[in-house]
Structure 1
Amino acid sequence: MDAALELFRFAGYQKTMIIDITKKTGAAKGTFYHYFPSKEAILEAICTRWATEMATSFMLESRQLTTLPKLQLFITRLFLPTQLNILFKRLWDEEQLNLYYKAWRNLVEEVFNPLIADIIQQGNQEKTMCVAYPQETIAFFWSTLSCIWEAIFFQEPPVAIAIKVKLAESLLERVLGIKEGAFKITLTSYEIA
């Protein structure tokens, strides 16, 4: 998976062939197919590995946190620059939009949504959130964050990103029933090559 990620990032997903991955690793083509039925399958495995590692690290670090710091940490972790960002940018640039959206949707549904659902449940219990429809609210959560992600992804000016972050804070407060002004999104310096 590391070899495939490196090739996808630098050569591009379309230009990378399975034979390139096997040559880079010194493995036989049959070995590749033993673990992955296709190039798309290894792409999905790379994405899942990243999401699972991120989720595990987040859960360990956030165990003792109350709801709002936990949600802030989750968003901060989500927006940390990673090798996967470059991979997603390559997929976008190569117009592999179906792969891009499928990979991201799988991560959200399988790995991240359960974390957000737990945060919402904790927030409702602590009375720092008031969410009547958790599943529907989660969809709005992702739509709001996607505006920030796309601003970063397409390298909008820092002022535009800052404005979108402020709007996202306000929208998430409303959607999640958080007291106005109580929620902040902190992003580290961000750049996608």
Structure 2
Amino acid sequence: MLNRHVSIFIGGTLISLGLNLFLTPHRLLDGGVIGLALILRYLWGVKTGLAIILLSLPIFSAVWLFDRRMLLNSFYGMLVSSLLIDVLSPLQGTVQSPVLFGALFGGLLVGTGVGLMLRFGTSTGGTDLLAQLIADRFHWNAGILIFVIDAAIIGSGSFILEAVQLFHTFLVISAVGLSTSLCLRKEPESA
């Protein structure tokens, strides 16, 4: 059985590999704070992990009021995944893949990383943390909430994407939402 620290490291590594090997080389977006950080990277060259940390701070401040345990676990998850994203950024361009494969496989890696972290009570912070807080309060599926938030952010960031990139970016968030939801799916209880 995985413990929280191992799940954070594995989840952060999967997210980092998905971004660095598959999404960034094709200038694709994810949703949420990661998507906003990628927009900053594509526009001004800001380090993705650093941007995630800075963009997540206001959300962490708001969550502090509702669930401090979730906040502390997620802050740790956000720091680990953000550092891994920047540490592994030299891997960008080492895998040559068609954009369709990059969108789908990158999305599956990112979503599995996010889902693994959510399954163990942590997240990468940002809108994942917000979705997890809402899901816990209203008993909704966090993966579906993440998908809705991601679609809204990508829609607002579409000004930097060409039509082909926008199409593939929606494939990314679909793959992220699917793999996150599968990771969070409850196992049927055996009799």
Q: TM-score, normalised by structure 2?
A: 0.34
More helix by share: 2
Higher relative contact order (CA 8 A, sep 6+): 2
Indicate the structure (1 or 2) with the bigger Cα radius of gyration: 1
